[in-house]
Structure 1
């Protein structure tokens, strides 16, 4: 059996990152484990199970969003809280015990409960319409917050004093307190009247007592429950651990006892910041990274050779040539996250130089940052840069028209400058894919190009202009390596002014994409598993 231990945590805490449906998603849920689970789930290459260490009362909804609703899993907090329900349940806040004369006010976002014209509670809902939180108020101050499980019961309750959290109680599905976590110290107290947890064994479960009634931290509780459950599993089982600070705390002692695959994903866990855990990496059965760049950084930080390391892309290529050829405009996608200020300025000026020679070209600034006012700030900054360089700022921000008389309208029409700069704000992978379908070319001048963007570029068969050659872009074939920013206009002209050159890059992109199909990625995973079994 292959077990996946994911890094699905909220800000380095042992809890999920579920949020209200109306709250803007500030980060993507996609990572290496999501893709690994999707591949094994959809292709049935090997039996697997997810081992979940975080408190995730809405995990069924997460699986549904990722298209793996029926993926098997074991939850550490289900074991701690002795939860045996498996299916999500229909649950209404009307079923709760409310005081007499309670009045519900339905706003576009939440439901607010008033008692004698004073705010009594606020009900928040998840994306599926299920209640996920009920916050209780006393004299206008938050006093308690109940966190609801999508299986139809209160999973935990947070107690506040003057709006400041004091402790969190984790409950059984019957509503009994299982343990209490104090916010100030992190200390854990086990309820002596309910001091057992579930131990999975031979397709069923049995109860085992906690060794102590008090623990210094939640990590110690998770360690005890996880260790007990790992002892009951086959010695030949393989564990794929997403490298994360919390996962390392729990799994470090098992590196010599179990067959471990360590999965590195981007900047989530850089060894230069955790040099004391180098031994764990050296002793692992195999190390899987998401790209050649991550492998290069890992080897540099380790400062020694690793023999069992391989890069397996968390994204597979799926040929979708997009609709850019059907559009009258030529959209240039330009990622700018983490681009230094001096390079940003130079890049904007060079792009402006090019679009002055191509009236069909449009610059689409790409960002994964979800800050609500970021598009306006980016456009304002670009307008300042171009104005300082002698360009008309109206190609970025059009003038506001106040006088609408016929004479002024005719005057404005004669002086009108078309807008040529736009912002694409894409947080999740689905919105990124939709955006890419309309792009004609990508210009990514950061030191490390975005991995998901590059996979989408070869899947959509569009050229790439980047600073160094990668496994997804071969110089002079499906794009150009450009280190001198002044060469960008010439590179854009090569692909956008000649349909022949653009089509040639399309053919090369298709050839490269064949190396990253699901079948090829699964083949790499098979090699890793075979190596561990031998």
Structure 2
């Protein structure tokens, strides 16, 4: 069996996965190679188990969102909290929680607010599907404590407040008894074990939650069978020590993706991990080369393996008369004014082109400034509305004209969109005809998504994901060649179809049984 340890840790507290209400946008693109690998193994019917080291009370919901609900999991915090793998899932309503007499509920556009005799006593946050995430209990307008619900239908933990700040967090069993108590002050994050559950732990207190997780993880991974089981660890500073948690003879794979794991000559833990594992997988040729520079003697075990997002399907852009261009913008590396001007000129010349200027995880202020900048640029060019004289024959029989055969098309030809998750990007790409990313280093997920959806891409930098005049176009001179590149894929159907076929072949090379066969072949060598 394959055991996968991901790196889906919290940004503020490593061992706590933040519970996000539906009205908060989660400022991250969550796709990584673990998601891809699990989907491949899931579709191939290979035995696999996800090992979750961190506290995640909404784990089932998260797995469902990533199409991984069919994959079995081992939750370390379920073991810590005494939750059975067969824990029954119970639907829970607001009224099922404990409330004083005469409590009434007001349903606002964002939260459910509870009142008792005219005073607010609680606010309830919900998930996207209307499931209860947390209950903030209030007294005299001050937060007293916050209850976090497990998606199986019980209160999983409680954070108690002192003088307006979190003081400690109790982790509960399904019966409501606290098992661990973690201090949340600036001075200490010590963890205390409830005397009633002391037999389940080796110590009465721990300096931090990481020590508890390490103890329980080692106990669970100790059951792996040499020669039969394989542990796949995502490279992350928190995960590297887990390489030592399994016995001799158990195969180990270390997987690198993006910039998640710093590569440093001084990192002894990294060097030890590279030597201990049987196979090292990287997502890019650059990362592979950097690892080879760190450990040249380990060249035989370091291999590059591309990740694709299997939720993406070949799009339906060929069914639309209009050609949508997905122009990715990097907030820290915005294209020059001349490049944006060239894009507007291309739009002005081609009435059936439209552009989505896509930016990821940006603030409202950044998006507003970008929108204003694009409007100013278009206005200075005299195409503020991007209105273009269009012949009625170009528009098809569904467009009605009043008197003339020519009119000015006033619909929005471009817009700025801020994306916070992969699902929204996937939806946008369904009818996208071409991707443009002229950043110095093209966005990794955009490139993965483009290949996964069979969409050709225009970049200024060559990467192993896009081959010139195959599934994309690598610009030599951005100002001169951008229009040539756009015309190459959007004026003639043949290059676009060839790019689609090329992408399909790339996907097939790194998915399904082929990917698993590559892994197993490399580990035998």
In structure 2, relative to structure 1, the CA distance for the partners of 1:220 and 1:38 (3 Å cut) is same
In structure 2, relative to structure 1, the CA distance for the partners of 1:498 and 1:193 (3 Å cut) is closer
**2:42 aligned residue:** 41
In structure 2, relative to structure 1, the CA distance for the partners of 1:86 and 1:162 (3 Å cut) is same
Contact 2:53-2:77 at 8 Å conserved across structures: yes
Q: How does 1:78-227 map to 2 (within 5 A)?
A: 78-84=78-84, 85-184=86-185, 185-197=188-200, 210-227=201-218
1:258 Cα shift? 4.3
Alignment: residue pair count: 501
1:80 Cα shift? 0.9
SS in structure 1 opposite 2:239?
helix
- Unaligned runs of at least 5 residues, structure 1: 198-209, 398-412
RMSD of aligned alpha carbons: 3.0
1:183 Cα shift? 0.8
- Unaligned runs of at least 5 residues, structure 2: 388-405
**1:436 aligned residue:** 429
Q: How does 1:133-532 map to 2 (within 5 A)?
A: 133-184=134-185, 185-197=188-200, 210-236=201-227, 237-252=229-244, 258-272=250-264, 275-276=267-268, 277-300=270-293, 306-315=299-308, 321-341=314-334, 343-369=335-361, 371-385=363-377, 390-392=380-382, 394-395=384-385, 419-492=412-485, 494-495=487-488, 498-499=491-492, 502-517=493-508, 520=511, 522-532=513-523
Distance (Å, rounded) in 2 between the aligned partners of 1:441 and 1:352 = 15
Bigger drift between 75-84 and 449-458 goes to 449-458
1:19 Cα shift? 1.4
SS in structure 2 opposite 1:246?
coil
Deviations 1:342-396 (A, max 9, x none): x333321222333343333333211222534544322112234455xx4136247
Contact 1:396-1:422 at 8 Å conserved across structures: no
**1:402 aligned residue:** none
In structure 2, relative to structure 1, the CA distance for the partners of 1:417 and 1:114 (3 Å cut) is closer
In structure 2, relative to structure 1, the CA distance for the partners of 1:458 and 1:51 (3 Å cut) is closer
Deviations 1:454-502 (A, max 9, x none): 3443454443221233333221333321132222344245326632xx4
**1:207 aligned residue:** none
TM-score scaled by length of structure 2: 0.86
SS in structure 2 opposite 1:281?
helix
Distance (Å, rounded) in 1 between the aligned partners of 2:207 and 2:432 = 53
In structure 2, relative to structure 1, the CA distance for the partners of 1:255 and 1:429 (3 Å cut) is farther
1:67 Cα shift? 2.2
TM-score scaled by length of structure 1: 0.85
Distance (Å, rounded) in 1 between the aligned partners of 2:180 and 2:310 = 46
Bigger drift between 515-524 and 357-366 goes to 515-524
In structure 2, relative to structure 1, the CA distance for the partners of 1:26 and 1:303 (3 Å cut) is same
